[in-house]
Amino acid sequence: MMKEETIRKAYEIAKERYAALGVDTDKVLAQMQDFHLSMHCWQADDVTGFEARKGGLTGGIQVNGNYPGKARNINELRDDILYAMSLIPGKHRLNLHEIYGDFQGKFVDRDEVTPEYFESWIQWGKEHGIKLDFNSTSFSHAKSGDLSLSNPDKSIRDFWIEHSKRCRAISQAIGEAQQDPCIMNTWVHDGSKDITVNRYMYRELLKDSLDQIFEHRYDWMKDCVESKVFGIGLESYTVGSNDFYTAYASKRDMMITLDTGHFHPTESVADKVSAMLLFVPELMLHVSRPIRWDSDHVTIMDDPTMDLFSEIVRAGALNRVHYGLDYFDGTLNRIGAYVIGSRAAQKCMLRALLEPIATLREYELADRKFQRLALLEECKNLPWNAVYDMFCLMNNVPVGESFIAEVEKYEADVTSKR
């Protein structure tokens, strides 16, 4: 591990270098302390959850790999998440799916779930200073099939409407208990493997279901809706497309979720930020790394993710965007995956905050295209990594690659013995 003196010296040099461009690195570090990721609970156990009923993962999603040591119960999952958080600078939230309730072996169908099954999560969050977010769960259920909220069968549709209403009530209870709004995401996998001749009908049914779900307003939770391009086994048609949810969220003045894996590989999710924020109040992000499709690889500091965070800063939207992670990779150490993805998202935000935006805007408005492009390129070489190292040091977490040894130790002492 680098010596503290070396880290501080490197930071002072970086601070001076950025100051010459009008960037206050101390201010950026303060902003980073207020940058809270909503970490996804489902990376720790490959989206298994704790329902008494067990079955395979269905609904257009899948997890690859069988790396040893995944969490097998609620206590192991909580321990793994806390350990991962101890290696990530800053204070972060936890995003729960409904199937992660504390059911204690009792069968509770999804249209019967109540806040009591999340009371231990609420208390756990309070104990550790962790705020919670939430998701309804329409996949991996006997009534999932290809269609849930858009199912022509009213009994199945009503089942999922009731489930979603109950999830909103749970989110309200969580938000009120933690005195901070719980963000609840609604995503359903509904679609068709082959050609459908009833596109309009399914979307009409989905709209009606959503209208019923969102009829009641709550004070301590925020709703968001999430689109998708396609799911595995549902390649030809997705009911809840981006066009559908963009129109729906805009009309209802509600938050929309942008999952970086839920668009065509050539689309720029970054470009959607300013377009959508003119018509919806806030955005929720689900940041992953799609490779050719919604493969949910571990987030890294790649160009699309960097562009996304840069656009948020450039749009002045820091207070209108919420940041969740959404990947699930069973091919590698799962705690390591948490740390890699979380740190990558932080690095992208840090680099975005360190951009000399005032100078760049002056160049652009003066039509000084050469200067603008030249400075954008030089920014890539600025010592942002020294600032991130300082951020880690300030938060008493491993600096640089030294977290690798910590993850390996946890594997040797804990997960390898499961």
Catalytic hit among 70, 262, 272, 347: 262
Average pLDDT over residues 390-400: 97
The pLDDT tens digits of the residues spanning 209-263 come to: 999 999 999 999 999 999 999 888 889 999 999 999 999 999 999 999 999 999 9
Catalytic hit among 15, 131, 207, 228: 228
User: Rounded CA gap, 411 and 126, in Å?
Assistant: 27
Catalytic hit among 223, 226, 282, 389: 226
417 is catalytic: no
CA dihedral 219, 221, 222, 225 (to 10 degrees): -130
Output the pTM of the full model: 0.94
223 is catalytic: no
180 is catalytic: no
259 is catalytic: yes
Name the CA radius of gyration of the chain, rounded.
22
54 is catalytic: no
Q: Is the dihedral of CA 41, 176, 136, 247 positive or negative?
A: negative
264 is catalytic: no
CA distances from 278 to 39, 272, 299, 320 (A): 27, 10, 27, 11
228 is catalytic: yes
pLDDT at 60: 65
**Arithmetic mean of pLDDT over the chain:** 95
- Binding site feature residues for Mn(2+): 262, 294, 296
The length of the chain, given as a count of residues: 418
pLDDT above 90 for 89: yes
Contact 98, 92 (CB under 8 A): no
**Residues near 371 by beta carbon (within 8 Å), at least 6 away in sequence:** 363
Catalytic hit among 286, 297, 322, 347: 286
User: Rounded CA gap, 406 and 412, in Å?
Assistant: 10
326 is catalytic: yes
128 is catalytic: no
- Binding site feature residues: 262, 294, 296
Q: Architecture of domain 36-353 in CATH?
A: Alpha-Beta Barrel (3.20)
